[in-house]
Amino acid sequence: MWRRRFSSVAGAKRALKDKKWDAVVIGGGHNGLTAAAYLARAGFSVAVLERRHLIGGAAVTEELVPGFKFSRCSYVQSLLRPSIIRELELARHGLKLLKMKASSFTPCLDGRYLLLGSTPEQIYSEISKFSKRDADAYPRYEDQLQKFYKLMDFLLDSPPPETSHEVSSFNDRLRDRLQKSVFWARCLRQVLSMGQKDMVDFMELILSPTAKVLNKWFETDVLKATLAGDAIIGNMASIYTPGSGYVLLHHVVGETDGDRNIWSHVEGGMGSVSLAISKAAREAGAHIVTSAEVSELMIEDSGTVNGVLLADGTRVYSSVVLSNATPYKTFLELVPPNVLPETFLHAIKCSDYNSGTTKINVAVDSLPQFQSLKTHNWSHPEAGPHHSATIHIGTESMEEIGSACQDAWNGLPSRRPVMEMTIPSSLDKTISPPGKHVVSLFTQYTPYKPSDGSWQVPAYRESYAQRCFTLIDEYAPGFSSSVIGYDMLTPPDLEREIGLTGGNIFHGAMGLDSLFLMRPVKGWSGYRTPVRGLYICGSGSHPGGGVTGAPGRNAAQVAIQDVKSRSS
C-alpha cells in the first residue's frame, strides 16, 4: 500500500510540471478545496497543493488509535454555508449530516442538569427548573438573534467592498465604484428592513462583553454559562471582554438542512466535509496533490506571481495563486523578502494569533455516565439524547469561565479547564468499534508558552490531559478508567501539525478590530494582496473562522472576476 501511494503521489507531482495552470491553491483545507471547486467549475485548470499526507486541514478525520476515527480538530458542523452545500451538491458527493438529538447538556455538581433539547416545549420545561423568568425570556432571546440572521447571511456570503488596488483605466474605476455601490445599497436595504431598534440591539450585541449581553437577558448562572460557551470558542478572550458578543453571534448563524442554529455530527467525521468538497472539485476537473509542501512563491520582477516552488524543488507555474495558509504563513514565510510593503508586513506581523485551545481526542471503552442523571433515575448505558449533544464541563457559572481565562492570561493552563465534550459515535456508528466510543474534548484555556512548564515535556502534557479527565470524573465518575488512548493537540501542536499560526483555529483572532474591512488587515480585506495575482482564501480573510467555506467561495469569485476583467 505504501508503494502504491508513493507511486500515486509521485505521478501526481509529475503532472504538475506538464503545463502552466490557470490557478494554484496552496493548502487542501476545506476553504482551499472550496475555492478550487468554484475555480474549476468556472473553467480554470486548477492544482491544489497540500503539505500533509491527507486533505482537510483542520476539517479532517484521522485514525490515531486503531479502530477509532477522530475529527482531529474541528468537530461539529453547522456553519458550512447553505449556498456551498447546494451549489457543489455535497449531499450527492457523500456529505451526510446527523442532527444532534439535543443541542446542549450541562451537568452540575449539585446533582442538577440543564438539557436543552430540540423542541421549544422541552427547552421551556428544562429552563423552568431553574427560573420561570428565564424560560419566558429564552424565546425572545432566540427571536432577537433570528432578526440578525439575514444581515449576517448577506455579510458572510459577500466579499468586502474593498477598494481595488489594481484600478487603472476609467472603466476599471467605474466598475469598482459600481460594485461598492451595489454592496452598500444591498447592505442598507438589510439594515432598513431591521429598523432602528433592531439595529441598535444588533450593535449592542456585537460591541458588548458576552457577560453583559447574557446578564441582561437571564438570571440563571448555568444557562448563561452554557450560552457563553459559543462566545469563547477558540478565543483567547474573556466573557468580560468588550466585543466578545460578536463571536457568540458568529457561532449561532449556522443551520442543518434548513433548520437554524442546529448543529450536527458528520458521518465519518469532519473529514467527510472536506472529502465531499474535494469530490466536487475533482469532478469539475481540479487536480489535488498531497505531500506537496510549498516552500516559496515565485514572483516576477514586476511584482506579479508566477507560481510556487515546492520543498522538493518542483516548480509549479501559474499567474493566479490562492493561499489557504494563514496570513502570517503566506506573507512572512512564503512570499520572498523585499517584495511586500513594510507597512503591510508590519500589520500582518502585529496581528493577534494568540490561542487558548487544546484539543484532546479520546478513545473510550464505554459511554460516560453522568452522576446528575443517575440522581434523577435517568441512567443511559446506551446513548441518550444528552450523549449526542454538546456537553459543557466546568461551565456551571460565568465566574468559572472568567477564572479559567484569567489563569491563561497569567501564563498558566486553566486549573479547571472549560470544556466542550462531544461524542459523535453516539450517532455515527462508522467511527468506533461496537460498544466503544470516540470522545472529543475542546478545552480552554491553554497558553502557547506556559510560564510553569513546556508542552514539549511529556510529563507536562500528560498532567494537563489528566487534569481534564479528572474534572470529567467529577461529573461522570469512572471516565478516566474508561480511556483506551488519546491524542492531544496543544497550541504549538496545532501550529506544527495543521499549520495554524500560534495555534489559533481562526487563522487569527476574531475581535472587532480584525473583522470585515480589517481582516486580515485594513486596506486588504477583499482577498487580493499586494502581490498581483496572489489571493488569500483561508479563515484569516473575511468572514473569519469556522467550517464555513465562505472565504474560499468568496475569494474564488474575486479571482474569477479579475481574470475575466483582464482578458476583456
pLDDT at position 305, please? 97
Tell me if 34 sits within 8 A of 549, measured CB to CB.
yes
321-323/68-71 β-pairing: unpaired
Nearest to 547 by CA among 81, 92, 51: 81
Domains, in order of start, for the chain:
2-59+82-96+277-351+514-567 (3.50.50.60), 120-259 (no CATH)
Residues 157 and 550: beta-carbon distance below 8 Å: yes
d(C-alpha 194, C-alpha 82), whole Å: 22
pTM: 0.94
**Are 280 and 273 spatial neighbours (Cβ–Cβ below 8 Å)?**
no
CA 350 – CA 375 distance, rounded (Å): 51
Give the pLDDT means over successive 10-residue stretches in the chain (568 positions). Answer: 47 78 98 98 98 97 97 94 96 96 94 91 95 96 85 90 75 81 90 88 90 95 92 87 80 75 92 98 97 97 95 96 98 96 96 94 96 67 88 93 94 96 97 97 96 97 98 97 98 97 95 92 96 97 95 97 85
CA–CA gap between residue 159 and residue 149 (Å, rounded)? 17
User: The C-alpha cell of 302 is what?
Assistant: 514586476
- Name residues whose C-beta falls within 8 Å of residue 17's C-beta, 6 or more positions apart in sequence: 314, 315, 316
Residue 147's pLDDT is: 83
